[in-house]
Amino acid sequence: MPSLLAVHAAGLERLHPDAGEPWQPSSLYLATHPHSAVRAWGWHLAPTGKTMHTVPDDRITATVDVTPWLEQKTAAVLAHRTEVARGAAPGLIAALPVPEQGRLLGTEWYIRHDPVGTAPPHTELLP
């Protein structure tokens, strides 16, 4: 996962010494979809044979209402022409009437990941 590697690398002072002081973010929010989203999106995806990779709803740690930016989000999704052309789910949904787009694209879901471990500073190797 490139984003997780970048978060870890940000705290390593020797990796990119010319980039400035190292900084270790305390959290990373990974975008995902809960199982309940599939129930809402399912009838749009069923005729296409598309599936979505989802997580149990109780794994979601943050939600964001993005309906105020729905027009920009839809435009951004449609700007990925190759994704739309290959029939990816976001492109299918972005092509729906605006009220349906709002219902299906109006919320974003995240899982909080805390990349700083709680392991002791020194770990002994096992024989």
pLDDT at position 35 over 80: yes
- What is the mean predicted confidence (pLDDT) over 6-30? 82
Q: Residue 43: what pLDDT? A: 58
| pLDDT at 38 exceeding the cut of 70 | yes
Predicted confidence band at 69 (pLDDT cuts at 50, 70, 90)? Answer: very high
pTM of the model: 0.70
Long-range CB contacts (< 8 A, 24+ apart) of 44-53? 44/89, 44/92, 44/93, 44/96, 44/100, 44/104, 45/89, 45/92, 48/87, 48/92, 50/87, 50/88, 50/89, 50/92, 52/89
